[in-house]
């Protein structure tokens, strides 16, 4: 099985006629993702790869009631409006790819989504991938393979690298979730591992973290308090990052000793989660963790 997206996912692409929107729509269609419609104001009547385009989300949803998810690929200045339009059209999964979204915008629409029972992934994320079933976002589909390792990551690039080393080692993935690297995001690492822990098709979990924030520490605290059915292996990016310097993502900054890699690594190790020093070590650690879980 998978989490969040599968062969029954029916997608709306907001910003479908833009350069990024059209190219990623065509890539998703090629992968096999079922895209029902797209939205770009003033572009109704056109199409992208055979996908019909509408002026508004409401028009698209009225014409295609099977839509259950939205991929947002619009400029940051219009991102919040696009999210609210999807929320108010009762779409239950929103994947927000857009970078440079103002923090106050994210804070408001993430809270609004939670109050409506809607799952948001992102903003500033690579999206979701359930290999062989659905690619919802900008992840390169060819490096993933179907299997039972769940991936949750704050880093898009590292998601791809680690999925590739897992696939080469014969360890396919159930679902890969890029939660995004902004300070305010929708569903976070802790919430995604909860989903994986309850998924019968996921047998182990890889957490890809990075400096900044306390997402990894909260995962460790959750494991300490309630335990986990599935074994977890982790990788933390940014071990050599200097304090006070942002490294890549807006949320990847060490400040006043908080959010440093060594603290995150120690938190994981204290609850029995092994942390790889290099991405290439992860397949070995996953195999060892699953074997240990079987012999408990």
Tokens 């019968």 -> residue: 200
Burial 8-33 (b: 16+ CB within 10 A, else e): ebbbbbbbbbbeebbebbebbbebeb
127 φ/ψ sector (left φ>0, alpha ψ -120 to 50, else beta): left
Please, which contacts does 115-118 make with residues 24 or more away whose CB atoms are closer than 8 Å?
Answer: 116/87, 117/92, 118/87, 118/91, 118/92, 118/93, 118/94
- Given 24, 100, 104, 249, the catalytic residue: 249
- Where residue 32 falls (left for φ over 0; alpha for ψ -120 to 50; beta otherwise) is left
- Give the 3-state secondary structure of residue 99: coil
| Residue 245 dihedral angles phi and psi, to the nearest 5° | -110, 125
Residue 10 phi, psi dihedral angles, 5° rounding: -120, 120
The structure tokens listed for 68 are: 């259950």
Sheet holding 119-121, edge to edge: 47-48, 51-54, 34-39, 10-14, 69-72, 93-96, 119-121
Place of tokens 């993933």: 144
Asked about 24 being catalytic, the answer comes back as no
Q: Do residues 8 and 133 touch, judged by C-beta distance below 8 A?
A: no
Neighbours of 199 (CB within 10 A): 19
Annotated catalytic residues are 249
């Amino acid at each position: 099985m998978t989490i969040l997206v599968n062969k029954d996912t029916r997608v709306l692409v907001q910003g479908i006629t833009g350069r990024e929107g059209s190219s990623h729509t065509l890539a998703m269609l090629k992968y096999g993702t079922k895209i029902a419609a797209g939205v770009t104001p003033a572009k109704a009547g056109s199409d992208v790869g055979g996908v019909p385009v509408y002026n508004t989300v409401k028009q698209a949803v009225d014409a295609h009631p099977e839509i259950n998810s939205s991929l947002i690929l619009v400029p940051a200045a219009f991102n919040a409006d696009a999210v609210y339009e999807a929320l108010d059209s009762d779409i239950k999964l929103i994947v927000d790819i857009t970078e440079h979204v103002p923090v106050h915008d994210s804070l408001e629409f993430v809270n609004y989504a939670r109050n409506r029972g809607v799952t948001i992934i992102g903003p500033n994320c690579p999206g979701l991938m359930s290999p062989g079933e659905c690619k919802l976002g900008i992840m390169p589909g060819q490096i993933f393979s179907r299997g039972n390792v769940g991936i949750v990551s704050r880093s898009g690039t590292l998601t791809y690298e680690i999925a590739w080393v897992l696939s080469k080692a014969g360890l396919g993935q159930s679902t890969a979730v890029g939660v995004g690297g902004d300070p305010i995001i929708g569903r976070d690492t802790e919430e995604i591992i909860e989903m994986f822990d309850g998924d019968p098709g996921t047998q182990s979990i890889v957490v890809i973290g990075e400096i900044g924030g306390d997402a990894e520490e909260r995962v460790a605290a959750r494991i300490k308090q309630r335990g986990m059915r599935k074994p977890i292996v982790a990788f933390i990016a940014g071990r050599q990052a200097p304090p006070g310097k942002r490294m890549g993502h807006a949320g990847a900054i060490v400040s006043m000793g908080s959010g440093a890699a060594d603290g995150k690594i120690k938190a994981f190790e204290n609850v029995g989660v092994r942390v790889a020093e290099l991405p290439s070590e992860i397949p070995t650690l996953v195999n060892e963790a699953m074997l240990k879980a079987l012999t408990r």
